[in-house]
Amino acid sequence: MATETTGETAEEPTPGCTDGLAYDVFGRDCPSRDALRHITDRWGSLTLGALLDGTFRFNELRRRVAGVSEKMLAQTLHALERDGLVHREAQQTNPPRVDYALTPLGDQIARQLRLLIDLVEDRMPQVLQAREHYDAQRTAE
């Protein structure tokens, strides 16, 4: 049920969300946490990043996201499709053809994710140096 405040419609808090916010990823049972998990887990982020390059068939996408199993890619695509980030289009051909592409929402999220991916790749020399330093300290202890 919505309430009227200063001319805007305010949603009632979602069960499990905190601080009176409609959605709060820090709330234990907030559904935004599941969506964030689907986006940021290893295969979700790599799949979204790959789909920024265009539409892919399942096996093309599996080759692009090196290391993902068929089962994990299928589960990942299902979760991302359910969240409205990926569009699955089955074509009635022989053999059947299924294409995967980002939805407008998925494209928006994947572009932000790509910024993070680019930042991580650009900063890998510092990350590797930090790892070496950390490991050297642990070895010396």
Mean pLDDT of 38-52: 95
Enumerate domains of the chain plus CATH numbers.
29-138 (1.10.10.10)
Crossing angle of helices 42-51/70-82, nearest 10°? 70
27 — pLDDT class (breaks 50, 70, 90): confident
Q: Where does the chain have alpha helices with state H?
A: 31-40, 42-51, 58-64, 70-82, 104-122, 124-140
> At residue 6, does pLDDT exceed 80?
no
pLDDT of residue 14: 54
Question: What's the whole-model pTM score?
Answer: 0.79
Task: Give 71-96 pLDDT, tens digit per residue.
Answer: 999 999 999 999 999 999 998 888 88
Phi, psi of 86 (to 5 degrees): -125, 140
Q: Which of 87, 82, 79 is nearest to 43 (CA)?
A: 79
